[in-house]
Amino acid sequence: MLSKIQYISHGDSPQEQLYHIEKVLDAGQDWIQYRFKNTLSSIRWSTAEKVKKLCETYKATLIINDHVDLAKAIDADGVHLGLTDLSVVQAKLLLPNKIIGGTANTYEHILQRAYEQCTYIGLGPYRFTTTKAKLSPVLGLEGYQQLLTQMKQDHINIPIIAIGGIEISDIHSIIQSGVHGIALSGLLYNAQDKTEILTQLNDILK
């Protein structure tokens, strides 16, 4: 089942990554996308093994950002691919029957992801965010409304996950545009009370 709230992990060290992942899992989060960019491959892999054990303990879905080989090695639930990563077709060959998410920023990207038959599309960014380097053009609410309307007209039914600098006050309007759910990093990472934030999010998204 595709969660309506996806947490994208954040942190510059294994300790930061693991601390915040465990905190959001303990607060009730059931979907983790493990994203650890600027580190050695060996550190990324060893940390991923610990994240896998945490997700198993909490019975949470684990998606690996970008690294299909890592997702395969630790038997994660799936992978999320950026536009310049390994192709979805290749990922499906390496990860049969797994979740394959794909990033999109334009309608052309959505058509590409639909053709590739992704499990879901991470569409964004909603607004400027410092969490991700090399940010694509910001869509804003109007961008989401236009793209989701066009998808409906073209009978494209892949679930859309909104991402990029989203705050709680944004969510009601974003959901009304027709997206399936939201992906969050900074909002949960920076929250002092992660349980309270997740409770608010679940109340809005029900």
Which residues fall in the annotated binding site for Mg(2+)? 66, 85
Contacts 24+ apart (CB under 8 A), 70-76: 70/44, 70/45, 71/95, 71/98, 73/45, 74/48, 74/49, 76/34, 76/48, 76/52
Residues forming the annotated binding site?
A: 33-37, 65-66, 85, 103, 129-132, 165
Six-digit token string for 21: 């992942």
Which residues, other chains included, contact 175 with Cβ-Cβ below 8 Å and sequence gap of 6+? 182, 204, 205
